[in-house]
Amino acid sequence: MRLKFTFPITFRHYGRVDCIGWMSPDDLYSIGEDHIIYKYNGAQNELSKIGELEQDLYALDMHWLPRCTTSLGSSGIVHMVNSGSGGKQAIGSDLFLLATNDGMNSLDYLLKTTHISYFVGKFFFVNKIGRMEKAVEAHQGAIICVRWSSDGSQIATGYFPFKIYFISQIRVLGGEDGQVRIWGRSGILRSNLVQSVTSIFSLCWSPDNNSILYCVGKHLVIKPLLSNSKQNTWKAHEQVVLKCDWNAINNLIISGSEDCRYKIWDALGRLLYTSQAYEYPITSLAWAPDGQNFAVGSYNTIRLCDSVGWCHSVERFNDGSIFSVSWSSDSTQLACGCGTGRIGIGHIIERGMSWRHFEFILTDSKMITVNNYETELSDRIELRDRLVKMSVGFGFLIVLTTNQGLIYNCKQLGHPVLFDLRDIFMNLIVQTEKYFLLSDGMNVSVYLYEGRFVSTLKLISPRPNSIHINTISVSHDTIAIRDSTNMKSVMFFDINGKPMGDGKLTSHKHDITYLTLDQTSSTHERKLAFIDKFQDLFVMCIHTSGQHRQSNYQKLRKLCTNVSSFRWNEKNGMLACIADGKLTIWLYPNVVFIDPSLLNKTVYRIESNDFGKNPSIVNFLGCQITIRKSTGALIQCAIPIYYELCLDLLAANRGDEALQLCQYISDDSIYSLIAVRSLYNRDLDSAENAFAQLSNTEMILFLQHLRLVTSKDECEAELVLLTGGDVQQAAEYYFRGNKPLHAIMLYINEHNWDRAIDLTQRYPQYLDVVVGFRQRYLNEYGNRRKETISKYLQAMKTVDIDWNRINAKLRKDLDEDNVLRIIN
């Protein structure tokens, strides 16, 4: 992967360029030391001068109002921005902030005055035609940096004040201290957030807009907006830090310094990557909006780097230092402003993707090269418009251009299916076996591979860029999305866009950083795996039927800690993760819901010193795992193929053949795999034989007990509880099998007292049973606490508790084993 740069001949300034930014993926704005505001349209190759600043105004920084905000500019009006690509429109901004130093006009006065004076720093609201909507006199000094918050509701400014001192009639021009101020969207001062003893050269907002990251001297500081919150300060470099940026997708921080290094940090200030010392200081850097890459500029050099730190490519020019860089919103183009006044526009090319024996390489902005390593043939796909995003998986290549979408079957690349993007710039593709999902960061649409539109998700108050690859996942029947306002909660939708069950969110104790659904399980076995902010890996069993939606959190289990990366297998239900530098594969994660003691027996581990620091799993297909090291190198790992063969046989409900396979393999893990998977298949014979090989007497006796149960519904209820503990589904089977007391005792054992007392309205003969066990619970476990539930207070007035009568009912309606367990 590299950047292919072009320098339009007419697109240049006289003097260095500090301000550059994209209004849309095709429209680029720039302001240089010559005070001219240029607009360049890349699609039409048109350059226009839209304005000129006053001669005493020097532009130091600019920032466009984030796209898809609901409160835009001082007027609060949402505008439609024409991108110049065939009339396609997207909700966006026609307003940018311009930070200036209004000091050169008053310099003569400052040199003549006999007292201490200041330069004046202003920032302006400027629209897309170059008209200044509003000016705000913000600081007594040059405003070096200005940034909108991602929701467009706040503005942060950092400045470098200049003073004239008079010491024995000698005037000394110098800087003293720095300051960060927070402003409302209309330019009204809200707070003086930071008062620093040194200048603040760069700042940015946190992804949640609750903190400000700024660089001061050799340090980086994360300052919360709340006054009672503690700030986080750490020494970042050996020399002055010049630039910093914080990505909203991966929540990582990058910094560049005069020590000629760039570094990557997490949100807690822990160092993740340090570059080598280059020849010249880092003068500019910026994250790509999608969080996959970032750019670093220095003298005559610009580097394209991966999100983990290693460098994809280095481009060298003869145009002096790179003072400003800016990514387009689709993360495919990078603009840079140089010290000579020239402006370069780079397109990402040679981006490669692979699936099975196919490799797809973006050789130009409108051309894809396809290599088939099975037939050793190559082909080319020529596009009409510039490529924005592509994804390959499950036998299909999805390509998004600036005007339309294309679906290629990997076996027949010559006849793509075209579909309309519904006038929205999509920058995210998530594929599953039957469907694929598109998103622009706020809106979500689901399509079939035939190009037919399926549904649109109706999300409540989504935030800009809240939907990305880490926060959304899709399978052939379920969509999971992390809530945009509460990072601890997950929303579930069916594939038609309707909320699952009652629509309530499933919450975790801590913020969720990454989630994904498995792709191969059946509907009643659908699982969600996620990592929280403490890098703990959890797996959750999801039921897509509405009546079982309440019990999702009860089926949450922790699998591992200190996890840096994980991935589901695309072909079967295996789950791989990297934790503490080791590769761990759970052959069948459902084991954790049945018998946690068998979990370690169904785990395959690979230890290697070749993984290095911060490796990540790129692909997990079949028995092959692809891992990318922090240096960018790829490593292939493999698990024994008999695990895959065994899972394929069990998926086809051929447990007998899977047991025959085990005869040639002396490994308890494969017997554990067959035992648990056969329970889900309701293959009790294979499960019993496998548990016998493991000498698990308890499970053998239980399975033999199930053979004696005459009621099919009761047997199914017992298996439901064994294979997942879904109480509501098991209770339904008990009711269907005319076993109401079994269902009531099930809720009593779960301490679901409200549901238990509600069932007595249908079955009043068991009211004394429910009230009796409730009183026993309060006496033995509640330290004789008094009853507070109104339904039980009312029932206690109408029923007498006689344990002899209660035990008689239990003996009559329950089997002997259950009665002995309950009475004892």
* pLDDT tens digits along 698-722: 999 989 988 888 888 989 998 888 8
How far, in Å, CA of 63 to CA of 326, rounded? Answer: 10
Please check the confidence at residue 772 and state whether its pLDDT lies above 50: yes
What's the rounded mean pLDDT across residues 215-238?
Answer: 94
Amino acid 815: pLDDT: 65
Contact indicator for 500, 479 with CB cutoff of 8 Å: no
How far, in Å, CA of 595 to CA of 724, rounded? Answer: 10
How far, in Å, CA of 648 to CA of 655, rounded? Answer: 10
Q: What is the pTM of this model?
A: 0.85
Locate the domains of the chain by residue range.
Answer: 53-220, 350-460, 470-561, 740-824
End-to-end CA distance of the chain: 69
Amino acid 546: pLDDT: 43
What's the rounded mean pLDDT across residues 186-206?
Answer: 90
Burial zone of 796 (CB within 10 Å; 0-12 exposed, 13-18 middle, 19+ buried): middle
Please check the confidence at residue 77 and state whether its pLDDT lies above 80: no
Q: Alpha carbon 305 to chain centroid distance?
A: 20
Tens digits of per-residue pLDDT, 714-746? 899 988 888 766 788 889 999 999 999 999 999
The DSSP output letter for 15 is S
Q: Which of 193, 178, 191, 53 is nearest to 123 (CA)?
A: 53
Tens digits of per-residue pLDDT, 422-458? 767 888 999 999 999 999 888 899 999 999 999 998 8
How far, in Å, CA of 66 to CA of 68, rounded? Answer: 7
Dmax (CA) of the chain: 108
Amino acid 76: pLDDT: 37
Residue 541: which residues within 8 A CB-CB, separation 6 or more? 525, 526, 527, 552, 555, 590, 593, 724, 726
Q: Which of 392, 393, 394, 389 is nearest to 405 (CA)?
A: 389
Residue 184: which residues within 8 A CB-CB, separation 6 or more? 153, 154, 155, 190
Q: Alpha carbon 243 to chain centroid distance?
A: 25
Give the lowest-confidence range in 588-602, 682-696, 756-770. Answer: 588-602
Tokens describing residue 68: 């898809």
Amino acid 151: pLDDT: 86
What's the rounded mean pLDDT across residues 613-630?
Answer: 92
3-class DSSP string for 71-105: CCCCCCCCEEEECCCCCCEEEECCEEEEEEEECCC
Distances (CA, A) of 223 to 66, 228, 232, 570, 789: 22, 11, 7, 42, 46
At the topology level, CATH places domain 350-460 in Methylamine Dehydrogenase; Chain H (2.130.10)
The residue ranking higher by pLDDT, 243 or 781, is: 243
Please check the confidence at residue 163 and state whether its pLDDT lies above 60: no
Amino acid 273: pLDDT: 94
Look-up of token digits 């994804």: 391
pLDDT band at 460 (very low <50, low <70, confident <90, very high): confident
Give the lowest-confidence range in 152-161, 230-239, 539-548, 597-606. Answer: 539-548
pLDDT band at 91 (very low <50, low <70, confident <90, very high): very low
Please check the confidence at residue 69 and state whether its pLDDT lies above 70: no
**What torsion do the CA atoms of 772, 778, 781, 783 make, to the nearest 10 degrees?**
-140
Amino acid 464: pLDDT: 72
Please check the confidence at residue 410 and state whether its pLDDT lies above 50: yes
Rg (CA), the chain: 32
Please check the confidence at residue 497 and state whether its pLDDT lies above 50: yes
Tokens describing residue 727: 């109480």
3-state secondary structure of 783: coil
pLDDT band at 629 (very low <50, low <70, confident <90, very high): very high
Please check the confidence at residue 676 and state whether its pLDDT lies above 50: yes
Please check the confidence at residue 176 and state whether its pLDDT lies above 60: no
Tokens describing residue 177: 């201290």
What are the φ and ψ backbone dihedral angles of 648, each rounded to 5 degrees? -65, -40
Tokens describing residue 92: 């966006």
Contact indicator for 272, 257 with CB cutoff of 8 Å: no
Residue 608: which residues within 8 A CB-CB, separation 6 or more? 583, 635, 637
Contact indicator for 392, 372 with CB cutoff of 8 Å: no
Rounded mean pLDDT of the chain?
A: 87
Distances (CA, A) of 48 to 12, 30, 34, 42: 12, 11, 15, 12
Please check the confidence at residue 400 and state whether its pLDDT lies above 70: yes
Please check the confidence at residue 98 and state whether its pLDDT lies above 90: yes
Amino acid 217: pLDDT: 92
The residue ranking higher by pLDDT, 287 or 682, is: 287
Burial zone of 553 (CB within 10 Å; 0-12 exposed, 13-18 middle, 19+ buried): exposed
pLDDT band at 524 (very low <50, low <70, confident <90, very high): confident
Tens digits of per-residue pLDDT, 263-301? 999 999 999 999 999 999 999 999 999 999 999 999 999
Most confidently predicted of 34-38, 593-597, 667-671, 800-804: 34-38
Please check the confidence at residue 820 and state whether its pLDDT lies above 70: no
Look-up of token digits 């760069």: 202
Q: Which of 576, 566, 494, 442 is nearest to 67 (CA)?
A: 442
Tens digits of per-residue pLDDT, 310-335? 999 999 999 999 999 999 999 999 99
How far, in Å, CA of 21 to CA of 819, rounded? Answer: 74
Amino acid 459: pLDDT: 82
Contact indicator for 181, 193 with CB cutoff of 8 Å: yes
How far, in Å, CA of 396 to CA of 570, rounded? Answer: 14
pLDDT band at 550 (very low <50, low <70, confident <90, very high): very low
Please check the confidence at residue 461 and state whether its pLDDT lies above 70: no
Residue 490 has, within 13 A of its CA and on its CB side, a CA count of 33
Amino acid 612: pLDDT: 87
How far, in Å, CA of 584 to CA of 559, rounded? Answer: 10
Contact indicator for 594, 676 with CB cutoff of 8 Å: yes
Provide the percentage of residues in the chain whose pLDDT is more than 70: 89
pLDDT band at 506 (very low <50, low <70, confident <90, very high): confident
Most confidently predicted of 66-75, 189-198, 272-281: 272-281
Q: Which of 763, 769, 779, 757 is nearest to 803 (CA)?
A: 769
Q: Which of 16, 11, 51 is nearest to 33 (CA)?
A: 16
Most confidently predicted of 186-190, 375-379, 396-400, 426-430: 396-400
The DSSP output letter for 342 is B
Identify how many contiguous H helices and E strands the chain contains and give both numbers: 15, 57
What's the rounded mean pLDDT across residues 359-384?
Answer: 94
